[in-house]
Amino acid sequence: MNRQVAHNDVAATMQAIGVRARAAAPALALASSDAKNRALVAMADAVDAGAGAILSANALDMEAGRAAQLSAAALDRLKLDAARIAAIGEGIRAVAALPDPVGQVIAAWDRPNGLRIERVRTPLGVIGVIFESRPNVTADAGVLCLKAGNPVILRGGSDSRHSSRAIHACLAKGLAQAGLPADAIQIVPTADRIAVGEMLKGLDGNLDVIVPRGGRGLVERVQREARVPVFAHLEGICHVYVDASADLAMAKRIVVNSKMRRTGVCGAAETLLIDRAGADRLARPLLSALADSGCAIRASEDLRAMFPASEPASEADWKTEYLAPIISAKLVDGVDGAIEHIERWSSHHTEAIVAQDAAAVARFFLHIDSAILLHNASTQFADGGEFGMGAEIGIATGRMHARGPVGVEQLTSFKYLVRGDGQTRP
Amino acid sequence: MNRQVAHNDVAATMQAIGVRARAAAPALALASSDAKNRALVAMADAVDAGAGAILSANALDMEAGRAAQLSAAALDRLKLDAARIAAIGEGIRAVAALPDPVGQVIAAWDRPNGLRIERVRTPLGVIGVIFESRPNVTADAGVLCLKAGNPVILRGGSDSRHSSRAIHACLAKGLAQAGLPADAIQIVPTADRIAVGEMLKGLDGNLDVIVPRGGRGLVERVQREARVPVFAHLEGICHVYVDASADLAMAKRIVVNSKMRRTGVCGAAETLLIDRAGADRLARPLLSALADSGCAIRASEDLRAMFPASEPASEADWKTEYLAPIISAKLVDGVDGAIEHIERWSSHHTEAIVAQDAAAVARFFLHIDSAILLHNASTQFADGGEFGMGAEIGIATGRMHARGPVGVEQLTSFKYLVRGDGQTRP
């Protein structure tokens, strides 16, 4: 088969997937909360009951991954075990327990002419999720989209294809048991990269939004090439600013937790900013606490003078997402210095201030335009589950439609329902 | 000057406008409600005081328009008079009177770990407005964007350039009097169409959303070519469905008002659907009322048999936005027939049902996915002012971010503010 024929085949497959997703939309939009929740519970049961099959599929992926000499980190992302499979089932049940967003009245008001206006949530449309090695994204994305009444097209990485298909088979069982359309959750059957290109072009208008889940390379390509809206963050260059007014013990806990709880997540802190006015009291204990927890420190010159067990920071450090036990650190002139540094270097994902001074906090909250700002709490709370959204399909740093954790509500649109008793417009 | 040099000049001018707009964003985002409202009132005063200058500028545009043999409709859109200028000033004062959306807490909740989470409105970003002949859009768009804290780049049609500049001069006075950045409201100084192309490309990331205001040709081009999000509707193929349960007198008022109050607006009805079960009682009086009000009728065959004073409708009529005293009409099988027709042919802008049967209304509201659905009220209420939003920059039929009338709230984004007392994530 020559290259062009293969290309046309994949393109045709993808167009057909788009058409089927769009066709499934009305039934899904009208599906009762009860039907959706029955499907979700049946999916969770199928995942629990199918753990053996999922593990066998995952063993194939792991074997291929080792043969392809994937990194240890990639293999860890790929790996499933009994606990991780149990967590997938629990995650699905948590989504079943969430309130149904579809049909919720977001706002309602009356007009002087007697018209009653309601703004009511509706599904958003067909969602495309393009992900890499984590097979659990199959379930996370599939069930969140279902809860919000949206058909979803899942395109996983080739590394995890056996695992993803085994999980998808469980989701399909749940849809069938509840009488919901099989095309509500489709998985792209080919590892061909042309499939991604077709999704980025929007499948002839049958794809409404794309959510990329994976490394910087993937997200960059999607943001650059997609002709449909994208919910994503390219990176999480998150900051913790410790004000001169901070409680030292609290600051130590928050700084160490923000950086070291898990260094590979997008909400992990990458830069520590310390108020110059409090440096004598704060700098050494904070940096010592980080070093004691196993974190390497790259510090500005003035800070290195106070803590010699650090490397010099270069400008590149202020824009680096380490995703590793490394932190950049700098002295700044109070909250205004922190704001200046953050507005220049941040990826507008998540920033925290540790302070007792309410005026400093108010300034930080007002002047910084990031998706999530925290006062006296760890940046690692940047997570849909921690926000009480039940689950998330990702975290967005754009300002359009969704920002911060993307949960079921962010996967909806709305329409206006207006009730009158014969009103005409003068 | 050769063509390429001219192109590069316009492109450079547009890039500079984008850079200046982005640079104005922080000051505007932080501007107090008081400062913004002072600017708005000063703008309205400047429009009132400058009515003579605006009329003189408009006379130049009208003269050029007549020389260019613009249509009567185009000349009417272009024309300003004392009443229309007074309405511009009143519109600006109405926006001043609106609550400031920036900083509003949209949602707030507490987590079991004691974290307090707030979702707070922020400005959306730099807005580009591309419009055609109506010079009042200069003021409408400029002041709505200002109220929501967004810099705006206005690109009006060449037909209205003198009028738009005269109005813009009034807005500039208001900004200056309140000490707000002049670059908050910029007007593109060239009529070159290359300027539009540059805006559609997004001005190097300095333009966040585009709102096209004008005819189908403009909106189609913007939707097709824009690399940034677009708030728009391509057309308003709005339907009125009259159920067998309808009150006839009410139905007559609503049908005639929906079609004939103003035929050139996007919320004007284009198709009348009559329940076959009520046709004997409803069809003739409804069509007579329309005919009596000066409306031409293009009807399905079965309906023509009941009202011979009509032309035959072809399939093309179901997808035509007449924007004229013409209506297409059809018998349908109850609310389900209406839903089927509307979901097939509608532009998902605005649809109305006239009915006394609550079950029919509920079905209509549930099954139709248009931005605005009305019960026993005219489709001509599809308007931000009528919705109580004070004013609108347009009506959107997309499902992303803004849908329906786009007012100041729809021109905002949000961020999360999280308050803790030392929480770290386990």
Tokens found for residue B212: 């096209």
Per-residue pLDDT of chain B (426 residues; tens, 9 = 90+): 456 667 789 999 999 999 999 999 999 999 999 999 999 999 999 999 999 999 999 999 999 999 999 998 889 989 999 999 999 999 999 999 999 999 999 999 999 999 999 999 999 999 999 998 889 999 999 999 999 999 999 999 999 999 999 999 999 999 999 999 999 999 999 878 899 999 999 999 999 999 999 888 999 999 999 999 999 999 999 999 999 999 999 999 999 999 999 998 999 999 999 999 999 999 999 999 999 999 999 999 999 999 999 999 999 999 999 999 999 999 999 999 999 999 999 999 999 999 999 999 999 999 999 999 999 999 999 999 999 987 789 999 999 999 999 999 999 999 999 999 999 999
pLDDT range class, residue A133, cuts 50, 70, 90: confident
**Of A30, A111, A387, which has the smallest distance from its Cβ to B117's Cβ?**
A387
Closest CA to B234 of B392, B371, B140, B378: B371
Contacts of B128 in chain A (CB under 8 A): none
Q: What is the token pair recorded at A196? A: 């991604």
Domains delineated in chain B: 3-105+126-231 (3.40.605.10), 238-386 (3.40.309.10)
* Helix A33-49 vs helix A137-147: crossing angle, to nearest 10: 160
> Is A261's CB within 8 Å of B111's CB?
no
B152-187: buried (b, 16+ CB within 10 Å) or exposed (e) per residue? bbbbbbbbbbbbbbbbbbbbbbbbeebebbebbbbb
Residue pair A259/A291 in contact (Cβ under 8 Å)? The answer is: no
d(C-alpha B423, C-alpha A126), whole Å: 38
Chain A residues whose CB is inside 8 A of the B425 CB are 257, 261, 378, 380-381, 386
CB-based contact A183:A171 (threshold 8 Å): no
Q: Coil, helix or strand for A214? A: coil
pLDDT tens digit sequence for A274-299: 999 999 999 999 999 999 999 999 99
Burial zone of B249 (CB within 10 Å; 0-12 exposed, 13-18 middle, 19+ buried): exposed
pLDDT at A3: 60
Query: H helices then E strands: how many in chain B?
Result: 15, 16
**Cβ-based contacts of B245 with chain A (< 8 Å):** none
CB B372 within 8 Å of CB B240: no
Range list of β-strands (E), B300-411: 311-312, 326-332, 350-354, 372-377, 395-396, 404-405
Q: Which residues of chain B lie closer than 8 angstroms to A415, CB-CB?
A: 369-373, 403-404
CA distance A340 to A241: 12
CA dihedral B41, B42, B48, B51 (to 10 degrees): -140
Query: Which residues of chain A have a CB within 8 Å of the CB of B416?
Result: 371-373, 387, 404
Q: pTM for the full model?
A: 0.93
Strand order in the sheet with B209-213: B185-187, B152-155, B127-131, B209-213
Residue A391 — very low, low, confident or very high, per pLDDT cuts 50/70/90?
confident
Q: Kindly determine whether residue B416 and residue A261, on different chains, have CB atoms separated by under 8 Å.
A: no
Q: How far is the CA of A198 from the CAs of A26, A202, A207, A305, B81, in angstroms?
A: 23, 7, 10, 54, 52
8 Å CB contact of A381 and B416: no
Query: How many Cβ pairs within 8 Å bridge chains A and B?
Result: 169
Q: Which residue of B has its CA nearest to A231?
A: B400
Give the Å distances, CA to CA, from A9 to A5, A154, A411: 6, 18, 31
Confidence of residue A8 (pLDDT cuts 50, 70, 90): confident
ipTM of the complex: 0.94
